[in-house]
Amino acid sequence: MKRSGTIIAALMLAAVLFAGASLAGRLRAPQNRAAPKIAGTAHQGNTLTARRGRWSNRPTAFRYMWQSCNRAAKSCVKVRGAKRVTYLLGAREVGHRLRVVVTATNRAGHRSARSKPTGVITVQGPPLPPPPPGYFGTDPSRNCVDRAEASCALANSFPRAAATCASKIIHTTWEPRHDNDASNHTVGDGSYVWGPAMTDPYWAAWAGRAPLVQGQFTGTTTEMFSWAGCRWGIDEDLMRAVAVIESTWHQSTWGDRCGGGDPTIGSFSVVQIKNKNCDGSLLWGGMPDVVQSTALAVELYAARLRACYNGDFYEPGGSWLYNGQTVRQIAAAHGWPYVLWGCVGSWYSGSWYDSGAVNYIHNVQLALAQRTWLGY
C-alpha cells in the first residue's frame, strides 16, 4: 500500500507539472491592441498622464518611459528618470514634444508600444487679451548668426530714443516701494566703470551697446520696466517678474555677498547686477551708479536680454551660452520663446538651461503668471 500510494502521488505531481507546462506553452507575451495615449494639455506647468492602451494575453505589470522629441516629432530620446505614469511639464520641455513608451509584461515575456507625440509644448496657456496701448512686449529677435551682427535677419532698431519711450509708456503714480524714490529720480551721469561682462571686445556687438546704456529716465518703479522695455524691445511684465525674484522690487537689495564685508562685492539693484566676484575681480561693474539709478540698472538688464535674444553671444563651435548653435538653429528646433527664456535663465546661472537656469525660469514664470508685484 505504501508503494502504491507513492506511485499515485508521483503520477499526480507529474500531471500538475504537465498541465503547468502546457498552460505556459499556450501563454504568449502581451500584444498591444490599442496604442497608449497621453492625456493632458501641452502647456508648461501642466501634468500629462499616460494611458496604457489595450493589451491581450493578460499582462501582469506595466512600465512607463517618457521620451522627448523635437518640434517635428523626431530625434526622440529617453528622459532620464521619467518612469511614472504622470509627467509634469517644466521649462526644459518648452518647444519639444513628448511621447510615452509602455511596456507590458507577463510570465511569457514583454512587449512595448508607444503613443503618438503631444503637440509642441508651449510656455503659456490660452492666448491672453491684447495689451493696452502703451504697453511694450518683446520685439522679434534680430536672428543674428555672428557675434558682431554681420548677418542679422532684421535691421537694428534698438535702443529707441529715451525721450520717445518716456512719452509713449503707460504712466502711473502707483509706487509700492517708496524706498526706491531717490534712485527712481536719479538719472545716469555717464561716468560708469563697466567690467568685462559689459566691455569684452570678443563679443563685439554687445560691447558696442555698453555706451548706449545710460539710464536717462525718472519715474515710479513700475515705470522703469515700461521705459526699459520700450528702449530695448523686451516685455515689461517679464522684467517686472524678474525683479520679483531678484529683489522683490527693492533697489537697495545687496545679494551674493560672499560672506565678506566689502561693499563692492556682490549683486546690486532691483535686477541684481553683479559688480564683483567673490575674489574681488570686476564682472559687470557699474557701481555705485547702478544702485543710485534704478533706470540705469533696469536698462542694463533689458539691453543684455535683447543682445542674448538677438544672438550676440554666438560662438561657432563654442560650448557656452547657446551650446555652439545660433539662435536661429535653436528656434528652429524649439521655438523663439525657448530662446528668450533661455536668455532669462542665463542671467541667473550663466549657462544655457542647466539645472539652476531651469529652476530660475520656473520661478520667474510663476511670478509672471501670478503678477506677484501687484500684491506689493
pLDDT in tens, 219-277: 999 999 999 999 999 999 999 999 999 999 999 999 999 987 899 999 999 999 999 99
User: Which three cell numbers mark 72?
Assistant: 517635428
Backbone angles phi, psi at 101, to 5 degrees: -105, 125
DSSP 132: P
Per-residue pLDDT at 206 exceeds 90: yes
By C-alpha distance, which of 279, 302, 299, 303 is closest to 289? 299
| Range with the poorest average pLDDT among 21-30, 33-42, 175-184, 315-324 | 21-30
Interatomic CA distance for residues 191 and 337, integer angstroms: 35
pLDDT band at 2 (very low <50, low <70, confident <90, very high): very low
Interatomic CA distance for residues 104 and 32, integer angstroms: 8
pLDDT at 127: 57
pLDDT at 316: 87
pLDDT digits (tens, 9 = 90+) for 136-192: 999 999 999 988 888 899 999 999 999 999 999 999 999 999 999 999 999 998 889
Helix %, strand %, coil % of the chain (to 5):
40, 15, 45
Residues in the chain: 376
User: Which three cell numbers mark 307?
Assistant: 543682445
Output the DSSP codes for 260-318.
Answer: S--TTSEEETTTTEEEE-TTS-BSSB-TTHHHH-HHHHHHHHHHHHHHHHHTTT--TT-
DSSP 194: B
Interatomic CA distance for residues 261 and 273, integer angstroms: 18
DSSP 63: E
pLDDT band at 292 (very low <50, low <70, confident <90, very high): very high
**Does this model's pTM top 0.85?**
no
Per-residue pLDDT at 1 exceeds 50: no
Query: pLDDT above 70 covers what percent of the chain?
Result: 92
Backbone angles phi, psi at 216, to 5 degrees: -90, 70
pLDDT digits (tens, 9 = 90+) for 326-359: 999 999 888 899 999 999 999 999 999 998 998 9
pLDDT at 124: 59
Region 361-371: what's the mean pLDDT?
91
Interatomic CA distance for residues 305 and 233, integer angstroms: 10
pLDDT band at 218 (very low <50, low <70, confident <90, very high): very high
Interatomic CA distance for residues 276 and 352, integer angstroms: 22
- What is the average pLDDT score of the chain? 90
User: Which three cell numbers mark 299?
Assistant: 536698462
